[in-house]
Chains A and B, each alone.
Chain A
Amino acid sequence: MYSNLWLIPFFPLIGSIFNGLFGKKIKNEAVIGGIATGLMFLSFLVAAQNLFKLLGDTKKVHELVIASWMTVGNFQLNWELLLDPLSAVMIMVVTGVGTLIHLYSIGYMHGEEGYYRFFCYLNLFAFAMLMLVLGGNALVMFIGWEGVGLCSYLLIGYYYEKKSASTAANKAFIVNRVGDFGFLCGLLTLFWALAEKGVWTLNFVKIAESGHLLESGGLLITVVTLSFFLGATGKSAQIPLFTWLPDAMEGPTPVSALIHAATMVTAGVYMIGRMNGLFAMAPATMMTIAIVGGLTAFFAATIGLAQNDIKRVLAYSTVSQLGYMFLAMGVGAFSAGIFHLMTHAFFKACLFLGSGSVIHGLHHAYHRAHLHDDPQDMRNMGGLRKKMPITFITFLVSTIAISGIPFFSGFFSKDEILWWSFGSTRGHWLLWLLGAAAAGMTAFYMFRLVFMTFFGEQKTDARARDHIPESPFTITIPLMVLGFFALIGGYIGIPKILGGVNRFDAFLAPVFEQAQHANEIHAHGTLATEYTLMAISVAIATVGIFIAWVMYIKNPELPAKFVARFSRAHKVVFNKWYIDELYDFLFVSPCKRLGTFLWRGFDVKVVDGVVNGCAWVIKGLGTGLRYTQSGYLYNYAMAMVVGVVVIVGFLVF
């Protein structure tokens, strides 16, 4: 039985509460970090146990009701968990990568004032993320969905004394709330639509069973899925809501690795996978998702070409890779999307942690040399491969993986996505082109990063150069483990045409197959086409790497010339296509102006004007009428005479 499923989110919750309440008193970093990491590891063990049980089980969908949540009349909602192959993959990624990043943080956050606070939030995040992926109904998922948003807010704003950090935190939460608005609308519409058909549920299994009650391709299902997709664009940083993710790099680097690369930002992809039955029924939504995904992959890659901050490059790379995953979901390649989610979790977490290791080393060196250079600026790096060999090798492996070079993990997943975007019944060659172009740029900017950081001459200030150490083992062990998986993680999903058995695909088939069959979603094409496309994408990646080599190793003066030649284009790309400014102009400023107007203009002037006006009129009337009460007899007599005259006159005429 799977009755211990609840332990998976429970362990990190306990850790979070413990460190939140007592961490400040304990002060001992080993205890605080050890408890947080240890509990995460326990959670990983339980997750692994459940995965193996599921692998050997013929029944692939298991539900566990923990308690009731809201019972109002006939509306009954439970705290319930759901284990199926999809959530099994996710809990393994979250607890596995999560444990490594917790371990990494023990060393990386050493000496920080808010050490306990950091681990409290990090554990809380793991809890929320596990609720998100294990949630058995849409509302438990939403608890996790907003919970990870909360933790993201707390961790981006970890250095809250920095204005840029707290602003980035606010931005992340608010932009995510825009997405949550979509999620809620989708939820409410879906619930209402199914209720009209007589099924009153938010339970995922029941939703999947009764999805057919809605008209396939109809307006309703399109609205529902588009609303949910809006939610996904918020959480997973897609066009139009991607702007918060690059700013989110204000958080400590382990946070960027765990939340803003490996797990939370993939929640949108997971959500679509979770409700693939509904999405498959809405071709218009699927097309939208594919286009948005493809465009995001492309545009984010262009921005990544020109950034100089090591973490920002990785951030845009994440946005771009998430775009790939959405592209996959949009063309119906659900398991390929989840596959890429997993391999991406390995190599991108490794890349972020590697960048953290570099920053950590440079920070240390600058500190020793009493310098205040920016340890994240790649223009201050170079030649680090000798100083930090382990960091360098793991980083290089992951870079090769993300670039899509054969036999590294990223190659298998990315190639499957590209093939589907071309050959799927929901695909199009233009989508393939977007993806392929993005792949070329990815290879370029990732190798640009590697060359600028680890190769060439040392550009670090001479005074700091000798102080750059390789990071301690709590940092390098996670790097090595993740690097290892970045290398081999793809081998569970070798495509058939390369002579493999796609075990990953087969494992997830029970979740996706039905929707794909029912809606005639499959990839078709000759073997020759598939081989050709594969060859082209590898060629594009190689060209990208070659250009990077030419520009940053062979002729290091080329980039400057290039920028000078295309200064306008570079400026646009460097400034992120001015999207932030555009949103400020379109939404933020008008909202503020409207708020001020409603307050000072409407509330104070109009409403209170009327209220005070009434008071003023009454007061005026009172003052006026006071003169009639003069107390002089002749005044009253006069009034009576006038009154008599008026009445008589009225009666006579």
Chain B
Amino acid sequence: MADYLLSMMTFFPLLGILILLFLPRDNGGLLKGFTLAVSLITFAISLPLAFDNVFTTSGGMHYREFYQWINIGDFFQMNYNIGIDGISLWLVMLTTFITPITILSTWNAVEKNIKGFMVMLLLLETGMLGAFISLDLFLFYVFWELMLIPMYFLIGIWGGKNRIYAAVKFFIYTAVGSLLMLVAIIFVYYYAQQSGTITNGFGIQELYKLDLPYNAQFWLFLAFGFSFAIKVPMFPLHTWLPDAHTEAPTAGSVILAAVLLKMGTYGYVRFAMPLFPDALPTFIPFLAFLSVVGIIYGSLVAMMQEDIKKLVAYSSVAHLGFVMLGVFALNLQGLAGGMIQMVNHGISTGALFLIVGFLYERRHTRLITEFGGIATKMPIFATIFMIILFSSIGLPGTNGFVGEFLALMGAFQGGLRWYAVFATTGVILAAVYMLWVYQRVMFGKVTNPKNENLKDLSVREIIIMLPLLLFVFWIGIYPNTFFSKMNPAMEQMLIQMGANPVAVVEMHQPAAVEHAVDHAETQTEHK
């Protein structure tokens, strides 16, 4: 059973779709209930991963599955090559965790073509999970594209007024990036084949060992980096995001923020950076600069938004800036901060989109000026909103702080000192835009008569938020549950990126330090 766990997890939603197709299309309750059950079972299948202690001891790939897939002699070889390590572990868990929540959130929100909607959500889940566990570049590309399609339809069919513009913009932005990546993938493959080092198709672990010349690495990094930067999104490639988020239905926004954006950051960590380590130092100052600009820019623009959802969307740009800054620090603390911040952003921003959704379902508007004084009408909602808000602005004790702090600390240690200082201003700006919007929406007296009869959260809505709140505090107070399983994999990955994960160590145990450094050096030489 454990041998096929990853495949079962990834394709169970697909199986669900097959059955879903035969269910009556006008029985909304059945469709929703069934989809929810499928996503919950998927979560249950994935759950043993979170408790498996193998990740705390070994940083390699686990739960490997390998089958030959498309095999055209020596010319072209693609394999079904999957596995999971501490880096993908929590992103996989985030995906299986957040999907049932989004399905539950659509209970009353989606009315037209429920069946299609549910099919798209499940297809999306398969695509996302597949992308996180692919160890074959081509397989990754297949899943990457697979995610695009359901998201496109989610926005284009179930979106708001401007949905077609937003969907096309989303598609074109991402497709341009994908094409560049495809070209780069093919180039890497043929280079590997010519140099005769490759025996295993597009397997990334073999490709890691490839010794590409600097020039090739430069252009390849550029292609991969560009593609992933669109997905993150990094400034100035972010303008698809506010439109996509605003127009997408709540469920789409939540998945987009919680998981899809992580594809970009994950892509950097898994592919762009370790595949082309020689080109990496050339790009780091530039990319770190864009990350910091993203933090400040995203915050300033978020501050002035009139639509709550757009505000949250722009705040995403800022949060992802912290993720990227941590990753580019090229040390354990930074990477750990970046990785945990990916999960945090999934939880906090996902929750914020749900919150906006709650308001939208009640009032069918997202304009800040339409609200005011909601706290008196919806006290439970007000409390939950406030907790999520403070998690989003990184109050110590909540998840956001752990991620931001480690990312900043890593950047500071990793020679990105000034970038870190400027990034830290983000903590001021985040408080400004978040508290301001909270004040305008929640505080004061009810002035708009339409807000007089608002109902507080229903039991279903509270159930949706509770798991998210749990993780807000869990990660904030005891993040070691997560770090302990990420550490070994991150160390290996940093060595692959050409960085020394133990560059800064406590001198209290000098013997251990030397040993660790030796260890790192031998590994690098070995490579």
Contact = CB atoms under 8 A, between A and B. Distances in A.
A26 interface: no
Given A70-B402, A595-B301, A611-B169, A201 B506 contact: yes
B483 A603 contact: no
B397 interface: yes
B350 to A, nearest CB: 22
B205 interface: no
Interface residues of A, number: 56
B439 A170 contact: yes
A594 B298 CA distance: 12
B327 to A, nearest CB: 14
A150 B395 contact: yes
Nearest to A599: B301
Interface in B330-381: 332-333, 336, 373, 375-376, 379
B333 A69 contact: no
B396 A73 contact: no
Interface string B296-310: 010011111100000
B247 to A, nearest CB: 15
A69 B417 contact: no
Given A73-B501, A75-B333, A161-B443, A592 B435 contact: no
Nearest to B310: A599
Given A139-B405, A595-B303, A71 B480 contact: yes
Interface string B400-425: 01100110110011000100110011
Contact of A73 (B408, B417, B425, B502): B502
Interface string A189-213: 1011001001111000000000000
B239 A181 contact: no
Given A70-B480, A167-B439, A184-B424, A608 B304 contact: no
A193 to B, nearest CB: 10
Interface string A59-76: 000000001111111110
Contacts of B395: 146-147, 150
- Select the residue from B236, B436, B484, B504 with max chain A CB neighbours within 10 A: B504
Nearest to B402: A70
A413 interface: no
Contact of B504 (A139, A200, A592, A611): A200
A198 B505 CA distance: 7
B428 interface: yes
Given A72-B332, A181-B425, A591-B303, A188 B420 contact: yes
Contacts of B478: 67, 69
B402 A75 contact: no
A75 B491 CA distance: 13
A191 B396 contact: no
A243 to B, nearest CB: 15
Contacts of B431: 173-174, 177
A594 B296 CA distance: 11
Contacts of B333: 72-73, 75
A185 interface: yes
A477 interface: no
Nearest to B373: A161
A324 B373 CA distance: 41
A184 B479 contact: no
A258 to B, nearest CB: 21
B502 A146 contact: no
A427 B427 CA distance: 36
Contacts of A75: 332-333, 409
Given A160-B375, A198-B507, A72 B406 contact: yes
B380 to A, nearest CB: 10
A173 B435 contact: yes
A169 B439 CA distance: 9
Interface string A168-186: 0110011001101100110
A142 B395 CA distance: 10
B408 A72 contact: no
Contacts of A167: 439
Contacts of B504: 74, 195, 200
Contacts of A161: 373, 376, 443-445
A178 B373 CA distance: 28
Interface in B232-273: 236, 238-239, 242
B243 to A, nearest CB: 9
A74 B417 CA distance: 20
B180 interface: no
A69 B479 contact: yes
B444 A163 contact: yes
B487 interface: yes
B474 to A, nearest CB: 12
Contacts of A72: 332-333, 336, 406, 483, 487
Contacts of A150: 390, 395
Nearest to B382: A160
A72 B480 CA distance: 8
B45 interface: no
B409 A188 contact: yes
A75 B405 CA distance: 13
B19 interface: no
A600 B418 CA distance: 29
A618 B479 CA distance: 50
Contacts of B428: 174, 177-178, 180-181
Contacts of A564: none
B483 A71 contact: yes
B5 interface: no
Nearest to A149: B395
B432 interface: yes
Nearest to A197: B507
B54 interface: no
A592 B379 CA distance: 30
A14 to B, nearest CB: 16
A125 to B, nearest CB: 14
Contact of A146 (B376, B396, B436): B396
Interface in A589-605: 591-592, 594-596, 598-599, 603
B149 interface: no
A184 B396 contact: no
Contacts of A67: 478
Contacts of B508: 199
B332 A185 contact: no
Contacts of B304: 592, 595-596, 599
Interface string A603-629: 100011001000100000000000000
A162 B375 CA distance: 12
B15 interface: no
A45 interface: no
Contacts of B390: 150
A199 B332 contact: no
B2 interface: no
B412 A189 contact: yes
Interface string A558-599: 000000000000000000000000000000000110111011
A143 interface: yes
B172 interface: yes
A592 to B, nearest CB: 7
Given A68-B480, A166-B439, A74 B427 contact: no
Interface string B270-300: 0000000000000000000000000001001
Contact of B427 (A24, A180, A199, A603): A180
10 contacts: A68-B480, A69-B478, A73-B501, A74-B332, A161-B443, A166-B439, A184-B405, A599-B301, A603-B301, A607-B236
Interface of A: 24, 67-75, 139, 142-143, 145-147, 150, 153, 157, 160-163, 166-167, 169-170, 173-174, 177-178, 180-181, 184-185, 188-189, 191-192, 195, 198-201, 591-592, 594-596, 598-599, 603, 607-608, 611, 615
Given A75-B409, A180-B428, A599-B305, 12 more contacts: A139-B405, A142-B396, A177-B428, A181-B427, A184-B408, A188-B412, A189-B412, A201-B506, A595-B300, A595-B301, A599-B301, A611-B169
Query: What 4 A-B pairs are tightest by C-beta distance, nearest first?
Result: A198-B507, A73-B332, A595-B304, A166-B443
